[in-house]
């Protein structure tokens, strides 16, 4: 029925509608009420048709005509300026971006500038999100971190609206900085360090940024970095359903996903490691002056993020190896393989920054490049050697291996406590990942032994760690040459047990006859045993095996000084300096060479001046100490005092000796005739050394100097007692090199207390064996001045001429 009815009405209705449309299309606006009167029985249907027509028209209109209200969200802003929100006076609009409008406002209560922005709508959606925002804001504020811009307050207004009161940070964003021009390495590292520290602090509180990018990083005019918008990105996991990546960040309308991690790009769950990825992207961009993943379109960019490797070649040559390695670890696609703790990045970068000059000048760089190329060739064959024999697969765990390699890198970097500690951390991580990683245990042990040897930590606990690690290595792989090598080091460095050390080194050498490092250890043991010539020859062979290690050349130079073969020594120090222009020791010893050899403070000073181009002398104890001594030698006492005042350490400490600063003051004042000051300084030297000895009664270095302090104070008996005790604690028979220093100090004590014959006996003994003391030095050092009129001493000096 209904059907036939509608069928009957259809032609009439169609006619009516056509007529209406026709009139409309001709530009007439028919009156609807009038129009329907023509078809009373169809009024209802016609009205419905017309309503739909109007609806369609409106829909089309709304598509092609933008409504003014559409702009409101985007352009509101100015109208708030001058108004008051809570206790904040809105001063001006300072930004407008994906996250809405940002105003500069005055906090009238606390009289400070703040930034205010409306809470992004997606953060007001639900209660949990709001609670999280507020909790994280509080946590961040409690951190009080210098590199994090905090949320001061959250002003909630009606349902769903509110404002964030943020710390106002003046300055440009890193994005703006990058657009302005390329960053210098130091600048990039400094910014990177501060960002890493900020993120590290937040991560420790469980807060993940999730939208780390240069536009969220501000650089204040004084160079301080502040990371903005912490706690404002919504965690992907909290969203009920998986959404498209474009939805994962509702604030982002236009722009680039360049800093997104692969897991973000895939729309998967994210954790703190997503920040580490973004951090890697930012670091890469600062250094390479381009993005690691960049394509014409966002989807291509995402594809690159997921699939491609960044162009590592695009990083400039000057970027240190460890920083390259760091970037690679940050930009590891698989979160599980990625750097797990951004604190490591902060440490790595600050370590790099604290290294003296990283870039040698052009001439040296060129030489270094040639040497570098050679190292690559030698290095490859060395590597091949490492993986033959029974070390084919040191570990199956790639990440553990990477930590192991980083440990090697730190260990070979320098001898500072920080480098060694970092090396230990790396090996420990390697072992954590692969508890059966014998080679890592072996290496770990060696670093512990070295911590002890270099007197960074003279505790038995340290030695116990060294022993435990090497025993574990041998338990896992009894034939491992590196483990025997390390056990040898443990005996040598830890106990001066030369026989056992040589025994272990010999075992290791059976499998590694071409290992120059291992052979050099044998040479060093000979040197400590006093077999200087044998040491010299052996070390020469080690250098043939490992010609580019500047450390070996440096040591050969030292051996030649001890042998008093000065002209030969010179070339070795030059080689060492060329290889590592940033190492202080070769300069210091080369300077020493010129005073020992020629008594020339002029040449010695030239070497130190050369060093000062690469090294901050005020921070290197041995170089500063030498600068002072050379002035003393030349009688420039005031200048010596001036140089002394530039240093900061209370005690100059080298491997071989400790010299309290006060003792140098005492000595110089004595030479200047300021007796009262001399006495005062000797007395403070005494009390300082007495307390150090109370802590570590077996360190000969302290006893020697305490003897000198007592002698300076006129306390002859105890002076001689301490001087002799030092010699007994480290007898030359046990330590043919380091043991010479207490002996020489004893000679000084003899001079100070007036026992000249004993002094000369001692000097003759020192000159009869390999050692640093030389006739030109005897002439130069005013400590021996009281002997100068003494016939026996005159005779010694004459022989030298």
- Known catalytic residues are 211
The reply to whether 360 sits near other proteins by the rule CB under 8 A is: no
Element (H, E) at 682: helix 675-695
Contact call for residues 155 and 85 (beta carbons, < 8 A): yes
Is residue 79 close enough to count as binding other proteins by CB under 8 A?
A: no
How far apart are CB 255 and other proteins at their closest, in Å?
A: 8
Q: For residue 210, which phi and psi values (nearest 5 degrees)?
A: 75, -10
Segment interacting with other proteins, rule: CB under 8 A, options 72-80, 197-205, 222-230, 553-561: 72-80
b/e per residue 454-488 (b: at least 16 CB within 10 A) = eeebeeeebbebbbebbebbbebbeebbbbbbbbb
CA-CA distances (angstroms) from residue 676 to 370, 670, 680, 713? 57, 9, 6, 11
Residue 28 vs 801, nearer CB to other proteins:
28
C-beta closer to other proteins: residue 179 or 675 = 179
- Residues listed for the chain: 801
Q: What is the largest CA-CA distance in the chain?
A: 146
Give first-to-last CA distance, the chain, whole Å: 138
What DSSP state is assigned to residue 783?
G
73 lines the binding site for other proteins (CB under 8 A): yes
Q: Which residue among 6, 8, 75, 385 contacts other proteins (CB under 8 A)?
A: 75
Using the contact rule CB under 8 A, the part of the chain among 64-72, 141-149, 503-511, 680-688 near other proteins is 64-72
Calpha distance 1→22 (Å, rounded): 31
The smaller minimum CB distance to other proteins, of residues 296 and 798, is found at 296
- CA dist 570 and 593 (Å) reads 7
Based on the shown chain and the rule CB under 8 A, indicate whether residue 356 belongs to the binding site for other proteins.
Answer: no
Does residue 62 belong to the site contacting other proteins (CB under 8 A)?
A: yes
The dihedral through the CA atoms of 450, 451, 457, 461 has a sign that is: negative
Query: Where on the phi/psi map is residue 270: left (φ > 0), alpha (ψ -120 to 50), or beta?
Result: beta
Mark 669-708 with x for binding to other proteins (rule: CB under 8 A) and - for no binding.
----------------------------------------
- The residue within the footprint of other proteins, chosen from 171, 235, 267, 360 (CB under 8 A), is 267
Q: Which is nearer to other proteins, 255 or 786 (CB)?
A: 255
Q: How far is residue 763's CA from residue 417's CA, in Å, rounded to a whole number?
A: 35
- Given candidates 43, 89, 122, 271, which one binds other proteins under the rule CB under 8 A? 122
Stretch that binds other proteins, among 68-76, 111-119, 528-536, 777-785 (CB under 8 A): 68-76
Residue 247 is a binding residue for other proteins (CB under 8 A) = yes
**Which one, 56 or 571, has the nearer CB to other proteins?**
56
The neighbour count for residue 697, using CB atoms within 10 Å, is 11
Give the footprint of other proteins on residues 14-53 (CB under 8 A).
14, 17-18, 21-22, 25-26, 48-49, 52-53
Closest CB to other proteins among residues 3, 363 = 3
Pull the structure tokens for residue 650. 């209370």
Q: Is the Cα torsion angle 723, 727, 730, 732 positive or negative in sign?
A: positive
Distances (CA, A) of 234 to 251, 341, 685: 10, 21, 61
Binder among 29, 33, 68, 222 for other proteins (CB under 8 A): 68
Q: Does 5 participate in binding other proteins (rule CB under 8 A)? A: no
Count of helices and strands (H, E) across the chain: 38, 11
Q: Is 69 in the site for other proteins (CB under 8 A)?
A: yes
Give the sheet arrangement for strand 162-167, strand by strand. Answer: 84-85, 88-97, 100-107, 112-118, 162-167, 151-156
- The H or E element containing residue 163 is strand 162-167
How many chain residues touch other proteins (CB under 8 A)? 57
Which distant-in-sequence residues (6+ apart) come within 8 Å of 205 by Cβ? Answer: 139, 140, 143
Q: Taking the complex as a whole, how short is the minimal distance between the CB of residue 30 and other proteins, in angstroms?
A: 13
By CB under 8 A, is residue 250 in contact with other proteins?
yes
Cβ at position 247, least distance to other proteins in Å: 5
Q: Which is nearer to other proteins, 294 or 683 (CB)?
A: 294
Output 140-146 pairs: Cβ under 8 A, ≥24 positions apart. 140/202, 140/205, 140/207, 140/230, 140/231, 143/201, 143/202, 143/205, 145/197, 145/198, 145/201, 145/202, 146/224
By the rule CB under 8 A, 110 interacts with other proteins = no
97 near other proteins, judged by CB under 8 A? yes
Residue 237 in contact with other proteins, rule: CB under 8 A? no
By three-state DSSP, how is residue 672 classified?
A: helix
In the range 594-653, which residues lie near other proteins by CB under 8 A?
none
Asked whether position 786 contacts other proteins by CB under 8 A, the answer is no
Q: What burial class does residue 606 get, using C-beta atoms within 10 Å of its C-beta: 0-12 exposed, 13-18 middle, 19+ buried?
A: middle
Does 63 contact other proteins by CB under 8 A? Answer: yes
Of 21 and 618, which CB lies nearer to other proteins in the complex structure? 21
Which of 37, 56, 398, 635 contacts other proteins by CB under 8 A? 56
Q: Are the CB atoms for 327 and 315 separated by under 8 Å?
A: yes
Binding mask 554-593 for other proteins (x = CB under 8 A): ----------------------------------------
**Closest CA relative to residue 232, chosen from 129, 356, 85, 89:** 129
Least separation in angstroms between residue 302's CB and other proteins is 5
**Among 29, 222, 244, 798, interactor with other proteins by CB under 8 A:** 244
Q: Under the criterion CB under 8 A, does residue 235 sit at the interface with other proteins?
A: no
Question: Which of positions 269-328 make contact with other proteins (CB under 8 A)?
Answer: 296-300, 302-303, 306-307
Q: What are phi and psi of 668, to 5 degrees?
A: -65, -45
Nearer to other proteins, 96 or 138 (CB): 96
- Smallest separation, CB 59 to other proteins (Å): 5
Choose which of 1, 66, 127, 384 interacts with other proteins (CB under 8 A): 66
Residues that bind other proteins (CB under 8 A): 14, 17-18, 21-22, 25-26, 48-49, 52-53, 55-57, 59-60, 62-71, 73-75, 95-98, 121-122, 243-247, 250-251, 253-255, 265-267, 296-300, 302-303, 306-307
């Amino acid at each position: 029925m209904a059907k036939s009815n509608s069928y009957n009405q259809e032609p009439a209705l169609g006619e009516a509608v056509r007529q209406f449309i026709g009139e409309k299309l001709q530009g007439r606006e028919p009156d609807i009420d009038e129009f329907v009167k023509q078809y009373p029985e169809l009024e209802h249907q016609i009205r419905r048709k017309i309503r739909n027509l109007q609806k369609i028209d409106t829909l089309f209109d709304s598509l092609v005509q933008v409504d003014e209200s559409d702009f409101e969200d985007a352009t509101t802003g100015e109208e708030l300026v001058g108004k008051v929100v809570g206790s904040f006076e809105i001063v001006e609009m300072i930004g407008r971006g994906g996250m809405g409008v940002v105003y500069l406002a005055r906090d009238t209560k606390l009289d400070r500038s703040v930034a205010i922005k409306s809470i992004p709508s997606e953060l007001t959606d639900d209660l949990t999100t709001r609670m999280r925002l507020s909790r994280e804001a509080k946590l961040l504020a409690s951190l009080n971190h210098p590199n994090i811009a905090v949320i001061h307050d959250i002003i909630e207004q009606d349902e769903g609206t509110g404002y964030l009161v943020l710390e106002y940070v003046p300055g440009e964003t890193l994005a703006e900085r990058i657009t302005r021009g390329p960053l210098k390495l130091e600048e990039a590292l400094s910014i990177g360090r501060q960002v890493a520290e900020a993120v590290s602090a937040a991560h420790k509180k469980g807060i993940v940024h999730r939208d780390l990018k240069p536009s969220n990083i501000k650089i204040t005019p004084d160079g301080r970095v502040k990371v903005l918008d912490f706690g404002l990105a919504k965690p992907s996991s909290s969203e009920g359903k998986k959404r498209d990546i474009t939805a994962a960040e509702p604030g982002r309308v236009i722009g680039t996903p360049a800093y997104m991690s692969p897991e973000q790009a895939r729309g998967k769950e994210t954790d703190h490691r997503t920040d580490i990825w973004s951090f890697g992207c930012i670091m890469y961009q600062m250094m390479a002056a381009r993005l690691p993943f960049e394509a014409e379109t966002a989807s291509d960019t995402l594809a690159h993020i997921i699939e491609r490797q960044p162009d590592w070649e695009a990083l400039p040559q000057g970027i240190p190896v460890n920083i390259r390695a760091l970037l690679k670890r940050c930009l590891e696609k698989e979160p599980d393989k990625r750097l797990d703790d951004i604190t490591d990045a902060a440490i790595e970068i600050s370590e790099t920054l604290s290294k003296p000059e990283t870039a040698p000048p052009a001439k040296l760089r060129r030489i270094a490049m040639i040497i570098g190329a050679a190292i690559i060739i030698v290095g490859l064959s060395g590597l091949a050697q490492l993986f033959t024999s029974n070390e084919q697969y040191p570990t199956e765990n790639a990440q553990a291996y990477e930590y192991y390699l980083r440990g090697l890198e730190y260990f070979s970097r320098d001898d500072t406590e920080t480098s060694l500690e970092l090396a230990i951390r790396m090996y420990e991580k390697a072992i954590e990942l692969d508890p059966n990683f014998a080679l890592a245990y072996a290496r770990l042990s060696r670093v512990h032994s070295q911590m002890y040897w270099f007197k960074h930590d003279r505790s038995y606990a340290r030695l116990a760690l060294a022993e435990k690690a090497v025993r574990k290595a041998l338990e896992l792989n009894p034939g491992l040459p590196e483990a025997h090598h390390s056990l040898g080091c443990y005996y040598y460095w830890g106990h001066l047990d030369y026989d056992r050390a040589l025994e272990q080194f010999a075992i290791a050498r059976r499998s590694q006859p071409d290992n120059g490092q291992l052979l050099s250890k044998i040479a060093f043991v000979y040197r400590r045993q006093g077999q200087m010539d044998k040491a010299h020859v052996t070390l020469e062979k080690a250098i043939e095996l490992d010609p580019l290690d500047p450390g070996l050349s440096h040591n050969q130079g030292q051996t030649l000084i001890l042998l008093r073969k000065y002209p030969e020594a010179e070339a070795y120090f030059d080689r060492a300096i060329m290889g590592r222009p940033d190492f202080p020791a070769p300069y210091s010893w080369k300077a020493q060479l010129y005073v020992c050899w020629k008594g020339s403070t002029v040449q010695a000073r030239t070497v130190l001046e050369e060093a000062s181009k690469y090294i901050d002398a005020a921070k290197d104890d041995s170089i500063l100490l030498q600068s002072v001594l050379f002035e003393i030698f030349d009688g420039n006492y005031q200048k010596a005092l001036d140089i002394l005042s530039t240093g900061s350490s209370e005690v100059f400490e080298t491997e071989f000796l400790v010299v309290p600063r006060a003792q140098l003051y005492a000595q110089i004042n004595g030479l200047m005739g300021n007796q009262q000051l001399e006495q005062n300084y000797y007395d403070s030297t005494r009390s300082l050394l007495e307390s150090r000895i109370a802590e570590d009664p077996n360190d000969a270095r302290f006893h020697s100097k305490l003897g000198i302090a007592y002698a300076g104070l006129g306390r002859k008996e105890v002076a001689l007692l301490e001087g002799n005790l030092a010699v007994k604690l480290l007898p030359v028979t046990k330590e043919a090199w380091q043991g010479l220093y207490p002996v020489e100090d004893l000679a000084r004590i003899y001079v100070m207390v007036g026992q000249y014959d004993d002094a000369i006996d001692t000097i003759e003994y020192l000159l009869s064996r390999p050692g640093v003391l030389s006739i030109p030095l005897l002439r130069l050092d005013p400590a021996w001045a009281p002997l100068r009129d003494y016939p026996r001493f005159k005779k010694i000096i004459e022989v030298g001429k």
